[in-house]
């Protein structure tokens, strides 16, 4: 099943969008879930590990609008393609400050949804997970659950919020397809997840669980630049 989220605070419009995607979207085996508030969708992502491949968002909603919602989804799920949907053409210029793949007027939904979903699925996607091979098993780990990677000889220790995995792949191999800036290398042996950095001291990163990761002299400049560069763009 391919998860697709629809968020529209007018249920009748949300149900119509869901039906059009199922009938005209050209997606094989879609699973379309309707959310009637931005908070409901964000809670599903944060609390239930819901990971839609595409989010179809109404722009004008009570409280958090679709553009603000898209910004949060882009941060939480970089691999999720956002499609904006609205009845109001005046929003067309507002959406370009936010990463998305398509803008559809509700009056043109049936004619445009196929092209929008084709672009969403054909565009380059950033991975949400790491796939760790250990013996004959392969485990799928959410990026946001990883605190840091530690290279130990020819293996990598993956330290997560709820445990540790040891794998034979190098950190570079594990991270080759992850979004730039997700992990910061701060030492010959350590890569830290930016999302879990609570503080940067002169010689160490302090992570969200209190772990202290050393910053070596060799990587101090690049680690500091990466840390403050991400602060400016997030």
Report the pLDDT value the prediction gives residue 61, as an integer from 0 to 100: 92
In the numeric block, which tokens belong to residue 209? 């669980």
**What is residue 172's predicted lDDT score, i.e. its pLDDT?**
87
* Residues 92 and 84: beta-carbon distance below 8 Å: no
How far apart, in Å, are the Cα atoms of 176 and each of 146, 152, 170, 173, 192?
15, 18, 10, 5, 15
Note the pLDDT of residue 232: 39
Tell me which architecture the domain covering 2-122 has in CATH: 3-Layer(aba) Sandwich (3.40)
Question: What residue spans define the domains of the chain?
Answer: 2-122, 129-233
Q: What is the pLDDT along the chain (234 residues), one digit of tens a residue?
A: 789 999 999 999 999 999 999 987 677 778 999 999 999 999 999 988 899 999 999 999 988 899 999 999 988 888 899 999 998 877 777 777 788 889 999 999 999 998 899 888 876 454 567 888 766 778 888 888 899 999 998 899 999 988 898 888 899 888 887 767 789 999 999 999 988 998 999 899 999 999 999 999 999 999 988 887 655 344
Architecture of domain 129-233: Beta Barrel (2.40)
What's the confidence (pLDDT) of residue 121? 81
Q: What is the pLDDT of residue 221?
A: 92
């Amino acid at each position: 099943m391919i998860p697709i989220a629809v968020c529209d605070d007018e249920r009748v419009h949300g149900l119509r969008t869901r039906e059009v995607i199922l009938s005209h979207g050209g997606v094989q085996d879609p699973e379309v879930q309707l959310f009637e508030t931005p908070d409901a969708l964000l809670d599903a992502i944060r609390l239930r590990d819901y990971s839609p491949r595409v989010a179809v968002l109404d722009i004008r909603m009570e409280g958090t609008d679709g553009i603000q919602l898209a910004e949060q989804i882009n941060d939480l799920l970089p691999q999720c393609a956002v499609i904006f949907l609205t009845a109001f053409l005046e929003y067309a210029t507002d959406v370009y400050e936010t990463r998305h793949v398509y803008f559809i007027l509700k009056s043109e939904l049936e004619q445009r949804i196929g092209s929008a979903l084709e672009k969403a699925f054909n565009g380059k996607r950033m991975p949400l997970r790491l796939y760790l091979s250990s013996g004959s098993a392969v485990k799928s780990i959410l990026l946001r659950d990883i605190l840091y990677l530690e290279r130990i000889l020819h293996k990598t220790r993956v330290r997560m919020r709820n445990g540790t995995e040891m794998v034979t792949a190098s950190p570079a191999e594990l991270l080759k397809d992850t979004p730039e800036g997700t992990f910061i290398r701060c030492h010959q042996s350590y890569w830290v997840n930016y999302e879990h950095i609570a503080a940067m001291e002169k010689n160490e990163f302090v992570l969200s669980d209190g772990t202290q990761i050393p910053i070596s002299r060799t990587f101090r400049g690049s680690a500091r630049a990466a840390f403050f560069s991400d602060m400016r763009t997030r």
